[in-house]
Amino acid sequence: MAERTPLLHYRLSTSVNESDRPVPLAGQAPEQRPGTPRQKPNQQRQPKKLSIFFGVVIPTLLSMFSVVVFLRVGFAVGHSGLYQAIAMFLVAYFIISMTVLSVCAISTNGALDAGGAYYMISRALGPEFGGSIGIMFFFANVCGCALYVLGLVEAIVATFGIPEDGTLPTSHFQVLPSGYWWSLLYGTAVALVCLLVCLVGAHIYAKATFIIFLVVMFVLGTIFVSFFTVGPRTITLPGSAFFNGSEFPTTGNFTGFKLDTLLFNLKADYNVDYTTGNMMTFATVFAVMFNGCTGIMAGSNMSGELTNPSYSIPRGTITAVIFTFIIYNLLSVLVACSCDRVLLQRDYSFLRDINIWNPFVTVGVYSSTLSAAMSNLIGGSRILYALAKDDLFGKVLAPAKKTSHSGNPWVSVLISWFLVQLVLFSGKLNTIASIVTIFFLLVYAAVDLACLALEWASAPNFRPTFRYFTWHTCVLGIVGCLVMMFLINAIYASASIAFMLLLLLVIHYLSPTSSWGYISQALIFHQVRKYLLMLDVRKDHVKFWRPQVLLMVSNPRSSVGLITFINDIKKSGLYVLDTLPSDPLQSQYDSWLSLVDHLNIKAFVNLTLSDTVRHGVQHLLFISGLGGMRPNTLVLGFYDDCLPKDRLIDPTTSNNYCMNSTDHMEELEKEPPMFHFASLRGTGDRQDYGDFGDGKALRSQEYVSIIADAMKMLKNVVLARYFNNFDRAQALSPPTPSQKRVYVDVWPVNLLRPDSCSYVDTCSLFLLQLACILNMVRAWRKARLRLFLCVEEGRSVRGSEAKLGQLLKDLRIKAQVPCALGPPGGATLAATRRGGKKSQTPDGNEQNNLGAVKEEENEEEYVNSFPSNATRLSDEYLSAVNKLIKEAAKPAPAVRFLYLPRPPADTRRYTTYLQQLELLTQDLGPTLLIHGVTPVITTDL
C-alpha cells in the first residue's frame, strides 16, 4: 500500500439530541419546559443507552489508535531510537493525561448535554469562549473527516488502482481507474457511506464502530502474533534507490528477536523521510507520533448518548488511555527487537509485510480510516447542532436545530456532509493537516483552561466527584498543548489563536446574553474579595483620597442630569445609586440596572425599605459599600417646589409637557419596557428628590435632619439644585458664539456668615478639590475654574488675594481669581470683576490698598469676634448675596460650587435654615451646595 495516507488521527464528537429545555441537575430527570406541548408517544426521543464500553472506551480507543498504530510506530522507533521513542510516549501521554483529568473533573460536576467539549467549555467559560472554540472544533471535525476520506481513497487506489504512469499492473487486483476525478468519485462514495450511517442515528454508528473495533483488535492481535511466529525475512523497500544524489538500500531485514538488533535500535539516528524528502528531527517525529496519541475527547463528546455520563466518562477515558499507552510502548519494544533500522526508516508499512497474512494490516488501515471519517462527520454534526441550539449565531444556524422523530439532527448532518464534500474538491489536504491537529489541541487547552478557572474561582457549586486533579495539572495541560501546537507549526498555531480571538470578539458583541453563568464573574469576585480584605482603612492617606459618592435618588425620571453629572465628579471612585422603593420588586432593581447601562455610567445600585425616609438614608449610609470601599460623600437633591421633568421618554421633548397632561401619558406608554419606575408627582408636591416615590411630601424638618445625620456620621454632604434639566453637552457648549470659554464657579466661603472670610478650612478645601476633580474629567477639561474672592467693601484685597494665589499654587490648581465686593454689615452687596491690582466699587471709584498689612494681622481676630449669625440673617441680605453671585459671574457658568453651612444645633430652626439656602441659590442654575467634613487635599508629595 502506498504511503501517502495522511498522518492525522481522528476525533469523535457526538452529543445528545434533546429538545430545547433547561439542563437538569445531576441525577435529576429532565422536566418539560412550561408552556410547551407534551410530545406524543410515537415522537419520544430514543433513550440514552450507551454503556461505558460502547459509548466511551471504543470511540476513544479507535480515535487514539487510528492509522498511526499501523503505519507510524516503526517510523518513530526508526528515527528516534527506542529510548527517545519511549520518552516521547511518556511526554505525550503526560500532556494528554493532564487534559484527561480536566475532562473527568468537568464531566463529573453536573449533567452534560449536547455538544461534548463545546458544552463543557461554553458552560464553564461563557458563550464567547464556548462559541469560538465550538466553531473551531466543528471545522476541525469537517476537515478531519475529509482528510480521512482522502486517506482511505489513496490507500484503496494504491492497492487496487491502475498505475497512472501507464506502467503495467503488478497485481491482478489492480482494476480501479486512477486520476483526480476518479479519486473524487471514490471519496464521494465513501462520504455517502458515512452520511447514511450518521443519518440513521448515533446508535447505528455505535454498532458500526463496535464492528470496526473488533476488526482493529483482531488485526493488532495478528501483528503481535506475527512477531513470534514469522521467521526472519528480507523485504523489498518501496521508493527509489536514489534520492538527491544519494544511494539508499533497496532491501531491509526482519531479523526476529535478536539482541544485536535491539542494541542497534536503542539510540537515535535521524534521517531523511523517504516519502517527503524532509530531514527528520526530534520535533518532527514527536509531532507525528503525538498526532496518534490524541483523541481523548471522543468518549466525553458522546455524553449525549451515554446512560450515565458522569460515571462513564472518567472510567472509560482513563481505561482507553492506559490501554493505548501499553499497546504503543509494547509495539515499540517488539519492533526495536526484531526489525533493522533500514526497514523501519524506509518502509512505513512493514507490518503488512511481516504479518502472517498481508491483507490483515490493509484491512486494519481501511477500517480505522473509515471509522475516523465517520466519527468526525457525526462529531461535527453534533457540535453544529449544539451551536445552533444555543442561538449564539442567531438565524444563521437556525436550520441546524431540526431533528428527526428519534432526535437525530439530520439537517446538521447534511450541512456537515456538504462541507466535507466541498473540502474533498481540494484533492490533497496534507497542507492543512497540521492546522486541523492544532485546532484539536486548542480545544484541549480550552478544556484545561475551563477546569483551571472553575478551580481558581472556588465556586461552591464546583464539586466534581472526580477529585484526582489540581490547578497544577490544569496548568501543565494548557502549557503542554500550547507547546505542542507551536512545535507542530508555529505559524498555524499563531493563526489559530488569532482566529479564536476574532471569533471571541464577534460573539461577545453580537450574541445575546446567556443564562449559563460567566466564570469571569466568579473569578472577579474571588479577586475583589481578596483585595477588599487587603484594603485597610487604617492605611488611608489624604493624598490618595477620592470621592466615594452615595447618590440618593427617588425617581430617576427627573434625575438623569444629576446622575450623569455625579458620574463625572466621582474620579474613578465608588458610585452608589440608592433609593427607597415602595416595594422591593426584582423588576424595579432590574430597571435600575438597565438604567445604569442605558446612561453608560459606572455605578452600583442599592434598594432598601424603611418606615421613614430619614431612617432609610441612615440604613443606606451604614450598609452601602464594603470594607475600605464605603461612600464618604452623600448627594441629595434640593428641597424646593421645582416641578420635575421626565427625561427618560424623549429628552428633546421632555421640557414641553407637564405631568398631568394627556400628551405626557401618551409618551409614557411609548416608553421602553425595561424601565418600570413610578410616575412623577404633580404640581404642589415638594421636590421629587425628597419625595422618594411614596406619594407623601417629605417634611423640611426631616430633610434637614438627614443632612445633620450625615455630617454627624462624618460624611461629606452635597445638595444639588436645578439639575432637573441639566444636559452636559449643552452645559459645555458656549452660550454665545463670541464666548469661547465655559466656566465652573467656586465660592469657597460661607456666605451665610458675612463675619467669616477664611478660605483654608476643611469645607473650603473640599469645594476646591471637587471642582478640580471635575476639571480633570476629559469632557470638562476645556472648562475654566473661577475662584471668587469675597472681600467686604473698604477692606484690603491684596493680602487675601496673595494668600489665595499662593494656596492655589501650592495645591497645583489653575483658576482665575475674580473679586466680589460688598459693604460691611451686608445690607446691600455688589460685585465687580477683579482688574489689575486695584478693585472698584459699584460707583467706579478706585480704592487704595493702604493699611493692608495691619488688617491682615487683625484678620483672625476679626473672623472669630462674631458669633454665628446664621439665624438672624435678613431676607434682604440673602437676596443681595444671591444678586452678588449672579452679577459677579459674567458670563454665566455651567455649574456653581457653593459653601454649605452646618445645620443649626437647634432643630427648631431647621425650616429657617432651609429657607435661607433656598433664597441663597434662587435662580442660580445648576448649583452644588457642599459641606466637607474630612481633609481631602494636601501639598505634600
pLDDT score, position 615: 87
Measured over the CA atoms of residue 786, residue 790, residue 791 and residue 793, the dihedral's sign is: positive
Angle at 728 between CA 724 and CA 734, to 5 degrees: 115
Neighbours of 652 (CB within 10 A): 7
Listed in order, the ranges of the chain carrying CATH 1.20.1740.10 are 55-166+176-232+278-332+348-519
Work out the average pLDDT over 389-401.
Answer: 80
The distance from CA 407 to its chain's CA centroid, rounded to whole angstroms, is 33
The Cα diameter of the chain in Å comes to: 128
CATH topology for the 543-648+695-734+743-827+870-931 domain:
Rossmann fold (3.40.50)
Listed in order, the ranges of the chain carrying CATH 3.40.50.12370 are 543-648+695-734+743-827+870-931
pLDDT score, position 832: 29
pLDDT score, position 583: 58
pLDDT score, position 240: 54
> Torsion-angle region of residue 825: left (phi > 0), alpha (psi -120 to 50) or beta?
left
* Nearest of 386, 403, 387, 300 to residue 55 by alpha carbon: 300
pLDDT score, position 835: 32
More confident residue, 179 or 791: 179
For the chain, state the CA radius of gyration.
Answer: 40
pLDDT above 50: residue 696: no
Task: Please state, in angstroms and rounded to a whole number, the distance separating the CA atoms of residues 547 and 562.
Answer: 16
The size of the chain, in residues, is: 941
pLDDT above 50: residue 814: yes
Query: Does residue 422 sit in helix, strand or coil?
Result: helix
Convert 691-713 to b/e letters by CB count within 10 Å (16 or more is b).
bbbeeeebbbebbbbbbbbbbee
Q: Which residues contact 597 (CB under 8 A, 6 or more apart)?
A: none
If DSSP states are collapsed to H, E and C, what string results for 848-913? CCCCHHHHHHCHHHHHHCCCCCCCCCCHHHHHHHHHHHHHHCCCCCCEEEEECCCCCCCHHHHHHH
- Per-residue pLDDT band for 755 (boundaries 50, 70, 90) equals low
Work out the average pLDDT over 602-617.
Answer: 83
Task: Please state, in angstroms and rounded to a whole number, the distance separating the CA atoms of residues 623 and 718.
Answer: 19
Report the number of secondary-structure helices (H) and strands (E) in the chain.
32, 15
Q: Where are the beta strands (DSSP E) in 409-459?
A: none
pLDDT above 60: residue 565: yes
Condensed to tens digits (0 to 9), the pLDDT of residues 88-104 reads 999 989 988 999 999 88
Average pLDDT, the chain: 76
The identity of residue 225, as a single letter, is V
Condensed to tens digits (0 to 9), the pLDDT of residues 55-75 reads 888 888 887 887 778 878 888
* Nearest of 923, 912, 931, 919 to residue 700 by alpha carbon: 912
Which single residue is written with the C-alpha cell 492525522?
Answer: 8
Angle at 52 between CA 49 and CA 53, to 5 degrees: 105
pLDDT score, position 32: 41
Task: Please state, in angstroms and rounded to a whole number, the distance separating the CA atoms of residues 780 and 783.
Answer: 5
- In degrees and rounded to multiples of 5, residue 783 shows phi and psi of -75, 150
CATH superfamily of 55-166+176-232+278-332+348-519: Amino acid/polyamine transporter I (1.20.1740.10)
Work out the average pLDDT over 393-413.
Answer: 82
pLDDT above 80: residue 589: no
* Nearest of 787, 764, 812 to residue 933 by alpha carbon: 764
Of 563-577, 632-646, 841-855, 860-874, where does mean pLDDT reach its minimum? 841-855
Strand 246-247 and strand 242-243: the pairing is antiparallel
pLDDT score, position 721: 92
Query: Does residue 786 sit in helix, strand or coil?
Result: strand
- Per-residue pLDDT band for 870 (boundaries 50, 70, 90) equals very low
The identity of residue 609, as a single letter, is L
Work out the average pLDDT over 779-783.
Answer: 86
DSSP-derived secondary structure letter, 399: G
Question: Is-contact 412 400, C-beta < 8 A?
Answer: yes
Query: Does residue 176 sit in helix, strand or coil?
Result: strand
Alpha helices in 695-753 (DSSP H): 700-712, 728-731
Task: Please state, in angstroms and rounded to a whole number, the distance separating the CA atoms of residues 450 and 132.
Answer: 14
More confident residue, 242 or 37: 242
Condensed to tens digits (0 to 9), the pLDDT of residues 623-654 reads 888 777 888 899 998 988 777 777 776 444 33
Query: Does residue 272 sit in helix, strand or coil?
Result: strand
* Nearest of 479, 495, 387, 478 to residue 438 by alpha carbon: 495
More confident residue, 898 or 42: 898
More confident residue, 367 or 690: 367
Q: Which residues contact 891 (CB under 8 A, 6 or more apart)?
A: 735, 736, 739, 741, 743
* Nearest of 691, 588, 675 to residue 637 by alpha carbon: 691
The helix-helix angle for 58-65 and 309-338 (nearest 10°) equals 30
Work out the average pLDDT over 385-394.
Answer: 82
Which long-range contacts link 231-234 to residues 24+ away (Cβ below 8 Å)?
Answer: 231/256, 232/256, 233/353, 233/354
pLDDT score, position 727: 84
Work out the average pLDDT over 199-226.
Answer: 88
pTM of the model: 0.66
